[in-house]
């Protein structure tokens, strides 16, 4: 898999895709959505879609695609290579979300949680497929009078999604976004539907390769890349995190700062940082009620001109 675009800049997100097979623009297709690398504290999360004409679904099944978690790394590679060979009827697209993007989203002033990020990424990939003319969906008819009738044309226009969070609300959300598509959101969809299995293989192959060839943004020397599985409960991963703490900067961007594991290591091993939106214990504006009755001199504040500019006279050096 060619991840050179990601390797050029892995601080944001990166969309990769196969050419769209021309048959997928003509015939109704089935499309699967899955992700890899949602849990790990290290590296990117990869979202993938995979699609093929309904008439060729049996050929995709014949490749014996299965849930990527049940396959060995070499089997996944072999299957992905087969899908590439079958590029005349199988298409895929990926969205690689860098750990930096995940951290900054989740730690934003307005929290953008991982579920919402996942849902939006999946939606974005589905929209991409539609924009490319993949015939997954969308009847030509506008829904009249606010209700949809399942028309004959929509038969076979199916999307299967492996769930993130409760499948019901996720399905509702996607269904609203794509009213012309019949969306099925299910737990373990990657084991139930071959097209989702295929998507899970694409995602997992990309995630493994991205982690293996990760180009650290930081200029760190003698960096050992023996970080285990990347999952927070892996002792090897924990040990790697502890060894790579910088007291000021924390971790390299390869680490998801928003993960509990990363945060608790920083609390112990790195210097404290306060932000303008950090929670502070004492509100300086609030004084003890007794202070209003005491005769003592009120603390003299500098003129507003200086307060507004954050200027204070230096009394100690």
Partner 1 sequence: MESSDGEAVDKRRVHLRPVTLRDPAPILLHLLPCEVLVNRPAPVGLFFTPAIRQGPDGLEVSFRGRSLRGEEVVVPPGLVGYVMTEEKGEVLLGKQDFSEGLEDDEQEERELVEPPEALERDFDRFIGATASFSSFTLWGLETIPGPDAKVRGALTWPSLAAAIHAQVPED
* Residues that constitute the known binding site for a divalent metal cation: 34-35, 162
Cβ atoms 29, 54 nearer than 8 A: yes
Q: First CA to last CA across the chain, in angstroms?
A: 57
97 binds partner 1 (CB under 8 A): no
Q: How far out from the chain centre does Cα 164 lie?
A: 11
11 binds partner 1 (CB under 8 A): yes
> Is the Cβ of residue 54 or residue 107 nearer to partner 1 in the bound state?
107
213 binds partner 1 (CB under 8 A): no
211: nearest Cα among 45, 17, 29: 45
250 binds partner 1 (CB under 8 A): yes
Q: How far is the CB of 238 from partner 1 (least distance, A)?
A: 18
Ranges within 155-174 binding partner 1 (CB under 8 A): none
Q: How far is the CB of 141 from partner 1 (least distance, A)?
A: 38
- What is the token pair recorded at 291? 């202070």
With CB under 8 A as the contact rule, the residue among 5, 73, 84, 218 that binds partner 1 is 218
With CB under 8 A as the contact rule, the residue among 271, 287, 291, 302 that binds partner 1 is 271
258 binds partner 1 (CB under 8 A): yes
252 binds partner 1 (CB under 8 A): yes
199: nearest Cα among 66, 19, 289: 66
Q: How far is the CB of 12 from partner 1 (least distance, A)?
A: 8
280-286, long-range: CB < 8 A, 24+ apart: none
With CB under 8 A as the contact rule, the residue among 144, 248, 289, 301 that binds partner 1 is 248
**Count of other CB atoms within 10 angstroms of residue 262:** 21
CB-count exposure of residue 231 (10 Å: 0-12, 13-18, 19+): middle
Residues 6+ apart with CB under 8 A from 83: 50, 60, 63, 65, 90, 92, 198, 201, 202
Count the site residues for partner 1 by CB under 8 A: 43
9 binds partner 1 (CB under 8 A): yes
> Is the Cβ of residue 22 or residue 213 nearer to partner 1 in the bound state?
213
247 binds partner 1 (CB under 8 A): yes
> Is the Cβ of residue 37 or residue 250 nearer to partner 1 in the bound state?
250
309 binds partner 1 (CB under 8 A): yes
Cβ atoms 203, 17 nearer than 8 A: no
What does the alpha-carbon distance between residue 16 and residue 6 come to, in Å, rounded to a whole number? Answer: 9
> Is the Cβ of residue 81 or residue 273 nearer to partner 1 in the bound state?
273
CB-count exposure of residue 156 (10 Å: 0-12, 13-18, 19+): middle
109 binds partner 1 (CB under 8 A): yes
With CB under 8 A as the contact rule, the residue among 62, 69, 78, 108 that binds partner 1 is 108
**Count of other CB atoms within 10 angstroms of residue 40:** 24
- What is the token pair recorded at 275? 């932000």
Q: In which residue are the tokens 């895929």 written?
A: 92
Annotated binding site: 34-35, 162
What are the residues binding partner 1 (CB under 8 A)?
Answer: 9, 11, 100, 103-104, 106-109, 217-220, 246-250, 252-253, 256-258, 262, 266, 271-277, 306, 308-317
């Amino acid at each position: 898999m060619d991840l050179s675009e990601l390797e050029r800049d892995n601080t944001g997100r990166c969309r990769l895709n196969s050419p769209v097979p021309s048959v997928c623009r003509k015939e109704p297709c089935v499309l699967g959505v899955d992700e890899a690398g949602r849990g790990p504290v290290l590296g990117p999360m990869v979202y993938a879609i995979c699609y093929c004409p309904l008439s060729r679904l049996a050929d995709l099944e014949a490749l014996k695609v299965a849930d990527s978690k049940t396959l060995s790394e070499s089997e996944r590679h072999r299957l992905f290579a087969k899908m590439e060979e079958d590029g005349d009827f199988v298409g895929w697209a990926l969205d690689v979300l860098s750990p930096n993007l995940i951290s900054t989203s989740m730690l934003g002033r307005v929290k953008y949680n991982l579920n919402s990020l996942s849902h939006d990424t999946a939606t974005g990939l589905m929209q991409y497929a539609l924009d490319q003319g993949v015939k997954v969906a969308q009847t030509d008819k506008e829904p009249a009078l606010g209700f949809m009738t399942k028309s004959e044309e929509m038969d076979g226009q199916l999307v299967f999604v492996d769930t993130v969070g409760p499948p019901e609300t996720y399905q509702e959300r996607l269904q609203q976004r794509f009213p012309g598509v019949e969306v099925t959101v299910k737990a373990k969809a990657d084991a139930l539907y071959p097209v989702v299995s295929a998507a899970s293989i694409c995602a997992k192959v990309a995630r493994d390769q991205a982690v293996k060839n990760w180009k650290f943004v930081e200029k760190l020397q003698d960096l050992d890349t023996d970080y285990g599985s990347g999952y927070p409960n892996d002792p090897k991963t924990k040990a790697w995190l502890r060894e790579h703490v910088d007291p000021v900067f924390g971790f390299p961007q390869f680490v998801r700062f928003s993960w509990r594991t990363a945060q608790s290591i920083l609390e112990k091993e790195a210097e404290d940082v306060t932000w303008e939106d950090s929670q502070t214990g004492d509100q300086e504006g609030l004084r003890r009620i007794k202070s209003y009755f005491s005769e003592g001199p009120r603390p003299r504040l500098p003129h507003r001109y200086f307060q507004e500019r954050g200027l204070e006279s230096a009394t100690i050096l």
